[in-house]
Structure 1
Amino acid sequence: MNIKTFTVCIFMFAAVMISAQNIFLTKVEKTKENKDKYLIKIDPKNSSAEYLGEIDVQGFSNDDMDVFYRIYNKAKEIGANAFAFQPFETVDEKNQSFNPSNYKMKLYYISKEEYSKPSDEIYLFSSSAKSQTISINKKDYVLPSRSFTVLKTIPGEIYTISTKKLLGSTIKVSGKPESTAQYYQVSSLKVRSNTFGEPGINLKSGDIIGLDRSFGDFLRMIYTENK
């Protein structure tokens, strides 16, 4: 191997190391025995959740599904079924905002009753790669990449959501009393659906994708709300 080839290899290795993402289960306070499949976002201040441990994510990846699965598997090692973003503190004891390249999550166990609390919200996510234009009941919205908007529903009312493309998708959803939140992602990217019993993507209709609640809640943490 000549010097030029060796130098190129060193730079390639360094680039891989810099862009590599690591996910660590850094703290285990206790474990729970449970076989549920969900991992949802909660506010610990308004929950009777039982604290189990912490996960650290270091490095950025644009493959949100892969990141979620790796976090999900770590969380299930200790029986967690809920999580919350844990901000880092600055030197003056103020909480830092979310950093997609370096963040911490606290893991919890919650009861089935808490998981089943109803919600009147529909979450609409953009893609991880580029902005998306959508129409909700004939009103247009532009969602920047890695962002989402929240639609408050009225029971019985129908909401028509379209991707505003020539051959794009259109879905109709409705607010249902005592139902849980609904999650959809607008994306022209190829995606893989979840296998039976795993969280992730529930259905795909063209470029509007129905998401499992667990994956949707993860996107709520790592994406920016577009109000």
Structure 2
Amino acid sequence: MRKLFFIILLLCFQLFYLQEVTLNKVDKVNDNKEKIFYSISDVSKSEYLGEVLVNGFSKDDVKMFGEIYKKAKQIGANTFSLKPIEKIDGTFQQFDPAYYILNLYYTKSDDIPAEDNVAFLISSSDINQKISVNSKILEIHPRSFLRLQLRIDEVLTVSTRKLLGSSVKLSGKDGQPSLYFSLSNFKIRTNDSIYGGINLKSGDIIGLEKSFGMFLTTIYSEQKND
């Protein structure tokens, strides 16, 4: 009986450990009610607030983002960047989805850079997915994404190539913000999402809220569209 109790405790501890998200450092707290949480690369105009540590791998990216979002909003962060982790020899290690740190910032809305007329097609966390872009067959690897440049004079048709699948038509527009699409169902319902949830759904191609899309393209790898 004691042995069984010990095993149950060990499993519970491992489950908790695999999903641990902590505010690793807090320098400042910014008092704002903004809901956005965007990725930035240029932090020169941003106020550094602290950092959040993700320790342990999880396939549930929705839950993981929700935990990170809650921690970030505790100190008023509306932007983030991936913190490079230095190795003993002075070089930086490759991104590890089981252990990473996000720097947290507050950035004025006018200082958040915009990326117009770009679409990101984001694969699932565990399976390859085949799609077609204007009849060109592409296979996207797990935890990867494609970056498509949209032009005003061109229409791109993205299809999942399934019998009962779906397709979307994309083209450039003046001032159109970046678009993020999941190629699998993350099972978010708009009414219980703390950060905006789904803006658009078309079968198994799902339009994602920008904050969540930016998070996924930060922790996933870009796959070149050759």
| TM-score between both structures, scaled by the size of structure 1 | 0.90
SS of alignment partner, residue 53 of structure 1:
strand
How far apart in 2 are the matches of 1:178 and 1:148? 23
8 Å CA contact 2:85–2:92 kept in 1: the answer is yes
**1:219 equivalent in structure 2:** 216
Instruction: Report deviation, 1:11.
Output: 3.3
Counterpart check, 1:133 vs 2:130? yes
Residue 122 (1) aligns with residue 119 (2): yes
Task: State the Cα deviation string for residues 15-60 of structure 1 (Å, max 9, x = none).
Answer: 4423431111121111212222110111135x41111110011111
1:18, 1:145 → 2: CA distance?
Answer: 24
Cα RMSD, aligned residues only: 1.8
- Give the 3-state SS of the residue equivalent to 1:179 in structure 2: coil
Q: Write out per-residue CA displacement over residues 95-117 of structure 1, whole angstroms, 9 at most, x where no aligned residue.
A: 11111111101001111123362
Residue in 2 aligned with 1:102?
99
Structure 2 counterpart of 1:44: 42
- Displacement of 1:193: 2.4
- Number of the residue aligned with 1:171: 168
**Offset, 1:203:** 2.2
Asked whether the equivalents of residues 122 and 146 of structure 2 are also in contact (C-alpha less than 8 Å), the reply is yes
Aligned mate of 1:84, from 81, 84, 90:
81
Q: State the distance in 1 between where 2:112 and 2:42 align.
A: 13
* Pairing partner for 2:14 from 8, 18, 23: 18
Q: Which consecutive unaligned segments of at least 5 residues does structure 2 have?
A: none
Question: What is the deviation of 1:9?
Answer: 4.2
Q: 1:193 aligns with which of 189, 193, 208?
A: 189
Structure 2: distance between partners of 1:38 and 1:183: 15
Give me the identity figure in percent.
42
Change (3 A) 1:66 1:90: same
Equivalent in the alignment of 2:65: 68
When residues 155 and 220 of structure 1 are mapped into structure 2, their CA distance, relative to the original with a 3 A threshold, is: same
Size of the aligned set, in residue pairs, is 221
2-side partners of 1:156 and 1:34: how far apart?
Answer: 40
Structure 1: runs of 5+ lacking an equivalent: none
Q: Secondary structure at the match of 1:217?
A: helix
